[in-house]
Amino acid sequence: MKRFCLVAAILLIFSAYANADVTYTIKKGDTLSGVSKKIKVSAKEIRSLNHLKKSSKLRIGQTLIVKKTGPKTYTVRKGDSINRIAKKFNVDVEELKDINLLDSDSLKPGQKLLLKAKPEIETAKINLEEEIKNISESEEIAQMNAKERLILFAKKFINIPYKFGGNSIMGIDCSAYVQKVYNLIGITIPRSARLQFKEGEIVDRESLSIGDLVFFRTYASFPSHVGIYLGNDLFIHASSKGKKVSIDSLKTPYYLKRFIGGKRFIIDNAEIEITKQLHAG
């Protein structure tokens, strides 16, 4: 029993320190610029965290906050705006909207907002780019059609972290993800979902085929989210909600409500054959 209590106490202490702000205690000879260089945090940020003026003098023994853990959520109050909240917690407005799946700037008092994305899930410690290169040069891939290659590459990115504006395996957003996957099979498409929606052949939901791009209006009035259709109402995408590349259903109420259409960039082998015969005739 005593051992259990001791372990519990240690865990509580560890938890308290893990969630505490990072601080620095001023020593003799310290200056703000010196502290800034030592802890690699700008003097401007230190002043802001501690409400210091440029003329403020440091005192020996004074404790400065050098890194604020900050709350993970915020409850909207009367008079709040998305811009004011983003500025207060030093978060990009579009990222804040993306994290909370907001499609407008309107907020309601009492509404809870996530200020930080959920922790990213660790991906397997492999060199993804090297793996993809090896697959691309294999005999097996040469026997696959374009759609099969597309889906194979698309699924290789599963669990890669989502990052607003990201364009690498360290963190990627929805449009960069589909652009990168399509590029792996030799098809070049624009960088943003908005521009991608202007390309390709229009496809309605009932006519979706494997490999088509599916588009949604999320935080903006224009197409702002995109994924790759897998069949059976499933699509793969870099999800801001799940914070990783994952598979979801078009029947999910959130996506069903915001779905605006599909675009086709790959014609299957049967259609290609028909096209060849028509031209031959």
**Catalytic residue at 237?**
yes
In sign, the C-alpha dihedral spanning 243, 246, 248, 250 is positive
Predicted confidence at residue 118, as pLDDT, reads 54
**Catalytic residue at 225?**
yes
Q: How far apart are CA 168 and CA 165, in angstroms?
A: 10
Q: How far apart are CA 131 and CA 141, in angstroms?
A: 13
Q: Check 5, 51, 174, 279 and give the catalytic one.
A: 174
Predicted confidence at residue 201, as pLDDT, reads 95
Q: Say which range, 75-89, 104-118, 143-157, has the weakest mean pLDDT.
A: 104-118
Which residues, other chains included, contact 147 with Cβ-Cβ below 8 Å and sequence gap of 6+? 209, 210, 211, 266, 268
pLDDT band at residue 199 under the 50/70/90 scheme: very high
Neighbours of 42 (CB within 10 A): 11
CATH number of 73-114: 3.10.350.10
Q: Say which range, 31-40, 42-51, 94-103, 256-265, has the weakest mean pLDDT.
A: 94-103
Task: Pick 20-67's CATH classification: 3.30.930.10, 3.10.450.50, 3.40.50.2300, 3.10.350.10.
Answer: 3.10.350.10
Q: Check 5, 51, 225, 279 and give the catalytic one.
A: 225
Task: Pick 136-271's CATH classification: 3.30.43.10, 3.50.50.60, 3.90.1720.10, 3.20.20.70.
Answer: 3.90.1720.10
Judge whether residue 74 has pLDDT over 50.
Answer: yes
**Catalytic residue at 174?**
yes
Helix (H, G, I), strand (E, B) or coil at 163: coil
Mean pLDDT for the chain?
Answer: 81
Judge whether residue 25 has pLDDT over 70.
Answer: yes
Average of pLDDT values for 51-78?
82
Q: Check 5, 51, 237, 279 and give the catalytic one.
A: 237
Average of pLDDT values for 5-18?
39
Predicted confidence at residue 123, as pLDDT, reads 36
Model confidence pTM above 0.85: no
pLDDT for 158-186, tens place per residue?
Answer: 989 898 888 888 889 999 999 999 999 99
For 171, the enclosing helix (H) or strand (E) is strand 171-172
